[in-house]
Chain A
Amino acid sequence: NAGVTQTPKFRVLKTGQSMTLLCAQDMNHEYMYWYRQDPGMGLRLIHYSVGEGTTAKGEVPDGYNVSRLKKQNFLLGLESAAPSQTSVYFCASTVTGGNIQYFGAGTRLSVL
């Protein structure tokens, strides 16, 4: 059972390049989240979605955009990557009414 799958697992970008991180879940969860994890900072919420076609800003949304065109997919876009966006990105999902988030394995992104 796949659960939450993130692609790619690793990526190196040059400053100014763009990319999209894909999150796919096969648990029919309504809620999906994007976090970034930085040393000494814990997990910080970037954007989240409470259902297909809806998105909302989290704690650190600047420099990122998201889309939830299909219930099972949540995309995180970086339009013009900056070195400050070097981080490990985690996607998570949860059912409506549920408190437990299920995480993907993460995407390690380096921006040079």
Chain B
Amino acid sequence: DQQVKQNSPSLSVQEGRISILNCDYTNSMFDYFLWYKKYPAEGPTFLISISSIKDKNEDGRFTVFLNKSAKHLSLHIVPSQPGDSAVYFCAASAETGTYKYIFGTGTRLKVLA
């Protein structure tokens, strides 16, 4: 049972346009969400996070939106750059104190120059 789902395995976007990566979850107890970016042959690196008490968090070109009623979060990248080409994982946690996260399956973003 996949509690965190990223239904789009891949996404291609033109440079300068907006990239929107989506993530759905099933566990209403999840209270903290993160996005990680992963380049080939490297480990995931933290990108941006959001607590369930917020519906939006912004950091430069990256914005994460959380819709608790729909159990849906999205990552917006504006404007997209070729260096953003990577695999993006969303992760969610309901176990404060252990910091155990459930990861989605990832979306491969390709930004075309």
Contacts and interface: CB of A to CB of B under 8 A. Distances in A.
B43 A100 contact: no
B44 A103 contact: yes
Interface size grouping (class) on chain B: 20 to 34
Nearest to A6: B43
Interface string B9-26: 100000000000000000
Interface residues of A, number: 27
Main secondary structure of the interface of A (DSSP, over half): strand
21 contacts: A31-B98, A31-B99, A40-B105, A42-B4, A42-B103, A42-B105, A43-B91, A48-B98, A50-B98, A58-B100, A59-B102, A94-B99, A99-B32, A99-B34, A99-B93, A99-B99, A101-B44, A101-B101, A102-B46, A104-B43, A105-B42
A106 B93 CA distance: 22
Main secondary structure of the interface of B (DSSP, over half): strand
Given A99-B49, A100-B49, A105 B104 contact: no
Interface of A: 4, 31, 33, 35, 40-45, 48, 50, 56, 58-59, 90, 92, 94, 98-106
